[in-house]
């Protein structure tokens, strides 16, 4: 059996885009191997209506699966893997994949490739391309055993390839007993704090990163944002340091923005940040490191020091 | 409460990453190694729990991680109660599965109430440590965590998802946590304190027989990504560059 299984991801009640990206990638591999594409869907099978891109939707429904809880999903997925025995399991390289990939790799005895941005079938194996070391290195690895796992980066494969107008064919699997004896429990979901400003609605954003140095130095760039009349956003390190609220975070674990212009200061352009802003219409990056990965993505760039450039920009606008 | 914090040395990403001669691995010999920043966050979260009362924090690392002594002494200087170097007896492999097999062997003999380690490391080709460790130990685990607070016989956690969403969870102990970010920025250890820790010695060495585990992945090649495009670079004095940028915005009717 050379089937490829995809774990469906949910954002609230909806299926994530990554689910469809993975189905598309799975189809290409299943075709090469003469196998089928199956989707594991937990916590209710209504979403199967969108999963006609798969050959089978394997559903487990149980109260413990109503929301994502790592231990519950792991027990359910282990059970599905034992029942359906795929050759390859695709997981999203997000919180779910960071929770489940490596524990399943040990328990299911399956080699795992992480941060996967490419999957090519080769005979009865698959060669995965992994993006590591802050995006500075790509590694091609062989997944050649009877069972493998790939955690797939969002946006690496086209969404359209996995979408379908038809419903998936549902096979229901009984909930394993372990779901009644969990040690992990959900207390509550926390929705994003509306906060002061909705950066996803801004026409333009001025964004700061680690290069800003300190909270006081934020003022320099804040003045530029004020002169333009647009919000200040930031990459993860600035938020973690507490210099700006979570509502301003752009990136993989923050918000995805698509403004007409994204003006960025002191951000190197690591994959997690790019995931949040690479579709902006105009990207202008200011970073003193000429080798910063952001310059491969930005439309315009400068190595001018932001502490010289930001005041100069304010002066041009107000002077 | 006993909290174990596994640490990893990783290549410093500020530097150019050199590859070995046949291009199948990074050239470890000449790279500068630093403490994995997510492990630094994990250590901070452990120390915050200790500050709140009554926990013992033990920093643990593989003895053959490059320059790891510095990180262990720094952990002591920051307030860890002890620091342990694991001797794998010649077993090799810097991949996640090999490392999990060694840390799990240590933890089986030296159980912890909480294992808190970084959610990931930049060179995690074959997956991440926290879930792999948890699987070997048969423990519940939660990753991408930004807050850990012992409560009752368990811990209250906050797990982050994309788009600013998060979940509040409780987990029974013992458990393994993959930390994304501590509740506050990692504390600073004065150089004098680190030196004092070095002088006092006090790193324990523990021999472990790593558990059986899968072999490392076969790497065909590693290479820097070839970019298909590059930004048009703006040169000149700050005033000139500022002028060009304003013009780019004006052309798109984004400023007057």
Contact A142/A127 with Cβ under 8 angstroms? Answer: yes
Asked if residue B212 is part of any domain, the answer here is no
Taking CA–CA distances from B118, the nearest residue in chain A reads A98
B194 inside 8 A of chain A by CB: no
A134/A257 same-domain check: no
- Read off the pLDDT of each residue in B91-113 and give the average, rounded to a whole number: 97
Percentage of chain A lying above the pLDDT 90 cut: 84
The minimum CA-CA distance between B108 and chain A, rounded to whole Å, is 16
The angle subtended at Cα B215 by Cα B210 and Cα B218, nearest 5°, is 145
Asked if residue A267 is part of any domain, the answer here is yes
> Which among B122, B144, B239 is the nearest to A95, CB-wise?
B144
Residue B40 pLDDT exceeds 90: yes
* Partner-chain contact A315 B97, CB within 8 Å: no
Taking CA–CA distances from A289, the nearest residue in chain B reads B14
Asked if residue B240 is part of any domain, the answer here is no
A160/A213 same-domain check: no
Q: Distance between CA B154 and CA B172 in Å, rounded?
A: 4
pLDDT in the model for residue B127: 98
A99/A242 same-domain check: no
> Which among A141, A253, A284 is the nearest to B245, CB-wise?
A284
- CATH number, domain at B70? 3.40.50.620
- Read off the pLDDT of each residue in B152-159 and give the average, rounded to a whole number: 95
The minimum CA-CA distance between A56 and chain B, rounded to whole Å, is 27
The complex's ipTM works out to 0.93
Asked if residue A194 is part of any domain, the answer here is no
User: Whole-angstrom distance between the N-terminal and C-terminal Cα of chain A?
Assistant: 71
> Which among A228, A254, A281 is the nearest to B164, CB-wise?
A254
A158/A252 same-domain check: no
Residue B10 pLDDT exceeds 90: yes
The angle subtended at Cα A240 by Cα A235 and Cα A243, nearest 5°, is 80
Asked if residue B248 is part of any domain, the answer here is no
Domain boundary among A125, A153, A180: A180
- Read off the pLDDT of each residue in A161-174 and give the average, rounded to a whole number: 95
DSSP-assigned states of every residue in A34-93:
T--EEEEEES-SGGGGG-TTSSEEEEE--GGGSS--HHHHHHHHHHHHHHH--SEEEEES
- CATH number, domain at A112? 3.40.50.620
Domain boundary among A120, A150, A180: A180
Asked if residue A23 is part of any domain, the answer here is yes
The minimum CA-CA distance between B133 and chain A, rounded to whole Å, is 8
Q: Distance between CA A284 and CA A262 in Å, rounded?
A: 6
* Partner-chain contact B135 A186, CB within 8 Å: no
Sort out which chain A residues have CB atoms less than 8 A from B233's CB and list them.
295, 300-303
Count of domains observed in chain B:
1
Asked if residue A207 is part of any domain, the answer here is yes
pLDDT in the model for residue B229: 87
* Partner-chain contact B185 A260, CB within 8 Å: no
* Partner-chain contact A316 B141, CB within 8 Å: no
Asked if residue B237 is part of any domain, the answer here is no
Domain boundary among A180, A209, A237: A180
Contact A169/A55 with Cβ under 8 angstroms? Answer: yes
Backbone torsions φ then ψ of B199, nearest 5 degrees:
-65, -40
pLDDT digits (tens, 9 = 90+) for A203-243: 999 999 999 988 889 999 999 999 999 999 999 989 988 89
A152/A211 same-domain check: no
A224/A119 same-domain check: no
A116/A204 same-domain check: no
DSSP-assigned states of every residue in B117-181:
EES--TT-TT--HHHHHHHHHT--EEEEEEEEEEETTEEEEEEE-GGG-EEEEEEESSEEEEES-
pLDDT in the model for residue A109: 98
Query: Which bin fits A209, alpha (ψ -120 to 50), beta or left (φ > 0)?
Result: beta
Residue B15 pLDDT exceeds 90: no
Residue A75 pLDDT exceeds 70: yes
Residue B117 pLDDT exceeds 80: yes
A205/A112 same-domain check: no
Asked if residue A185 is part of any domain, the answer here is no
- Considering chain B, what is the average pLDDT of its residues? 95
Q: Which domain holds residue A288?
A: 199-318
The minimum CA-CA distance between B103 and chain A, rounded to whole Å, is 14
Q: What residues contact A181, with CB distance under 8 A and at least 6 apart?
A: none
> Which among A100, A143, A298 is the nearest to B231, CB-wise?
A298
Residue B88 pLDDT exceeds 90: yes
pLDDT digits (tens, 9 = 90+) for A39-64: 999 998 999 999 999 999 999 999 99
- Read off the pLDDT of each residue in A89-115 and give the average, rounded to a whole number: 98
Q: How many CB pairs under 8 A join A and B?
A: 273
Report which secondary-structure segment, H or E, holds A208.
Answer: strand A204-208
Asked if residue A191 is part of any domain, the answer here is no
Residue A312 pLDDT exceeds 70: yes
As beta bridge partners, residue B160 has: B166
The minimum CA-CA distance between A159 and chain B, rounded to whole Å, is 18
DSSP-assigned states of every residue in B77-118:
HHT-SEEEEEE-TT----SHHHHHHHHHHHHHHS--SEEEEE
pLDDT digits (tens, 9 = 90+) for B191-239: 999 999 999 988 999 999 999 999 999 999 999 988 888 999 999 999 9
* Partner-chain contact B229 A114, CB within 8 Å: no
- CATH number, domain at A235? 3.40.50.1220
> Which among A71, A132, A183 is the nearest to B123, CB-wise?
A132
A14/A138 same-domain check: yes
Tokens coding A302: 């400068």
From the candidates B164, B183, B185, which should be mutated to test the interface with A, based on the most A CB atoms within 10 A? B164
The minimum CA-CA distance between A189 and chain B, rounded to whole Å, is 4
A167/A208 same-domain check: no
pLDDT digits (tens, 9 = 90+) for B242-254: 999 999 999 999 9
Asked if residue B239 is part of any domain, the answer here is no
From the candidates A302, A309, A310, A319, which should be mutated to test the interface with B, based on the most B CB atoms within 10 A? A302
Asked if residue A99 is part of any domain, the answer here is yes
Residue A319 pLDDT exceeds 90: no
Q: Which of A242-256, B37-51, B222-236 has the highest mean pLDDT?
A: B37-51
- Considering chain A, what is the average pLDDT of its residues? 94
The minimum CA-CA distance between B119 and chain A, rounded to whole Å, is 8
Considering only residues 198 to 227 of chain B, which have any Cβ-Cβ distance to chain A shorter than 8 Å? Answer: 213-214, 217-225, 227
Q: Distance between CA B39 and CA A309 in Å, rounded?
A: 35
Is the pLDDT higher at B96 or at B228? B96
Asked if residue B256 is part of any domain, the answer here is no
Asked if residue B146 is part of any domain, the answer here is yes
Asked if residue A193 is part of any domain, the answer here is no
Q: Which domain holds residue B192?
A: 2-207
Question: Looking at chain B, how many residues does it have?
Answer: 256
> Which among B97, B100, B243 is the nearest to A316, CB-wise?
B243
Sort out which chain B residues have CB atoms less than 8 A from A139's CB and list them.
125, 219, 221-222
Count of domains observed in chain A:
2
Whole-number Cα distances in Å, B204 to A231, B59, B207, B209, B235: 51, 10, 10, 16, 54
> Which among A11, A71, A139 is the nearest to B140, CB-wise?
A71
pLDDT in the model for residue A194: 63
A123/A266 same-domain check: no
* Partner-chain contact A253 B144, CB within 8 Å: yes
pLDDT in the model for residue B42: 98
* Partner-chain contact A135 B225, CB within 8 Å: yes
pLDDT in the model for residue A135: 87
């Amino acid at each position: 059996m050379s089937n490829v299984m995809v774990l469906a991801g949910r954002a609230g009640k909806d299926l994530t885009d990554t689910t469809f990206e993975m189905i598309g990638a799975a189809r290409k591999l299943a075709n090469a191997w003469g196998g089928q594409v199956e989707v594991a869907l937990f916590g209710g099978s209504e979403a199967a209506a969108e999963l006609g891109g798969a050959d089978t939707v394997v559903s487990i429904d149980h109260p413990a699966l109503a929301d994502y809880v790592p231990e519950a999903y792991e027990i359910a997925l282990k059970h599905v893997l034992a029942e359906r025995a795929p050759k390859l399991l695709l997981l999203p390289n997000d919180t779910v994949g960071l929770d489940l990939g490596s524990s399943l790799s040990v328990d299911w005895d399956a080699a795992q490739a992480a941060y996967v941005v490419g999957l090519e079938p080769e005979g009865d194996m698959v060669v995965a391309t992994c993006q590591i070391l802050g995006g500075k290195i790509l590694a091609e690895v062989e997944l050649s055993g009877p069972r493998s796992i790939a955690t797939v980066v969002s946006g690496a494969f086209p969404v359209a390839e996995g979408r379908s107008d038809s419903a998936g064919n549902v096979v229901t699997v009984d909930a394993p007993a372990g779901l009644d004896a969990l040690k992990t429990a959900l207390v509550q979901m926390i929705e994003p704090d509306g906060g002061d400003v909705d950066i996803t609605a801004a026409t333009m954003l001025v964004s700061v990163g680690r290069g800003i140095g300190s909270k006081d130095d934020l003022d320099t760039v804040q003045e530029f944002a004020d002169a333009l009349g647009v919000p200040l956003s930031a990459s993860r390190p600035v938020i973690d340091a507490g210099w700006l609220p979570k509502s301003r975070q752009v990136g993989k674990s923050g918000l995805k923005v698509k403004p007409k212009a994204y003006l960025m200061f002191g951000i190197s352009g690591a994959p997690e940040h790019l995931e949040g802003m690479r579709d902006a219409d105009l990207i202008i990056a200011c970073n003193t490191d000429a080798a910063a990965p952001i310059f491969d993505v930005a439309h315009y760039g400068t190595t001018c020091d932001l502490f010289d450039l930001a005041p100069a920009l304010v002066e041009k606008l107000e002077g | 409460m006993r909290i174990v914090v596994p640490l990893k040395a990783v290549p410093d990403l500020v530097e150019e990453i050199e590859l070995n001669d046949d291009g199948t691995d990074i050239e470890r010999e000449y790279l500068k190694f630093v403490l994995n920043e997510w492990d630094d966050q994990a250590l901070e979260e452990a120390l915050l729990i200790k500050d709140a009362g009554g926990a013992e924090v033990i920093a643990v690392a593989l003895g053959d991680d490059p320059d790891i002594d510095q990180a262990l002494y720094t952990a002591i200087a920051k307030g860890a109660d002890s620091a342990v170097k694991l001797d794998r007896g010649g077993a090799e492999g810097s991949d996640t599965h090999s490392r999990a097999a060694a840390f799990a062997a240590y933890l089986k003999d030296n159980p912890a109430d909480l294992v808190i380690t970084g959610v990931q490391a930049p060179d995690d080709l074959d997956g991440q440590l926290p879930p792999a460790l948890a699987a070997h130990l048969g423990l519940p685990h939660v990753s991408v965590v930004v807050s850990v607070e012992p409560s009752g016989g368990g811990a209250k956690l906050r797990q982050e998802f994309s788009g600013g969403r998060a979940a509040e969870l409780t987990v029974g102990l013992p458990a393994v946590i993959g930390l994304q970010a501590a509740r506050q920025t990692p504390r600073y250890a004065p150089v004098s304190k680190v030196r004092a820790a070095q002088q006092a010695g006090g790193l324990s060495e523990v021999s472990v027989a790593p558990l059986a585990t899968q072999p490392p992945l076969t790497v065909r090649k590693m290479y820097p990504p070839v970019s298909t495009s590059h930004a048009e670079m703006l040169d000149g004095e700050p005033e000139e560059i500022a002028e060009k940028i304003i013009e780019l915005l004006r052309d798109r009717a984004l400023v007057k």
